[in-house]
Amino acid sequence: MFKRILGMVMVGALFFCAPSWSEEQAVVYDTNHDVETLFFFEGAAKMGNVLAAAAAVDAGSGLTTIPSTGHGFLAGSYVTLGATDSYDGTYEIIAVAANTFNIYKTFVAETFAGTDTAKCSVATNKAYKFKGFELHLDIASATSETLTVTKDAEEGTAFDVLLYSIDMDGYKDIVYRFDPPVLCEAGDKIVFEWTNTDTRTFGVTAIIGR
């Protein structure tokens, strides 16, 4: 049993500082007393997209609007931006429109190249263990397309590893745990990719530990 109190986690009479990726991320403890943090990804289109060749926009109140045509992300999802000059990192999506989404990030003027990425991926600045994931679709997939989960290694492509893959045709729910967990260095990314031609609404929970 745990309670969140002002950004901390209480277990019994002990207090632990919760990881600082976001106030909204759930923090739990497994049977080995490892801290587990949950990253949530939600969408109704392809898992991951590119940023449009357009400028970031200052949305005020600490928000920046990111252009990404037909991205399909839903508000509340996390997204990891890459290959940008000023916006690389993992953010919670606060609001969405058909071709843009808003994140909490101090505005910096930048026009994206059209090759920058917006991925369903976990990325942290400390070493971690990728323990597994859960996936749910609103309706079972009716198309033969492969879901992949890959470790995108900070050391370079020679160290990238395909961790999991499955043909999603007929699937609605998947729960998968790695035993032992996948060890990741700071900067390693866990990337979820799926074409999702049927535009099923998906929810992915990625579980990482320390």
Distances (CA, A) of 60 to 15, 108, 153: 35, 12, 35
* For the chain, domain boundaries: 25-40+121-209, 49-118
Q: Which residue has the tokens 């909490």?
A: 104
- 25-40+121-209 is classed CATH 3.30.420: no
Class of the CATH domain delimited by 49-118: mainly beta
The answer to whether 25-40+121-209 and 49-118 have equal CATH topology is: no
pTM of the model: 0.83
Is residue 152 within 8 A of residue 120, CB to CB? The reply is no
Q: What is the mean pLDDT of residues 22-37?
A: 59
| CA count, 13 A, side-chain hemisphere, 204 | 29
Please give the share of the chain, as a percent, with pLDDT higher than 90. 80
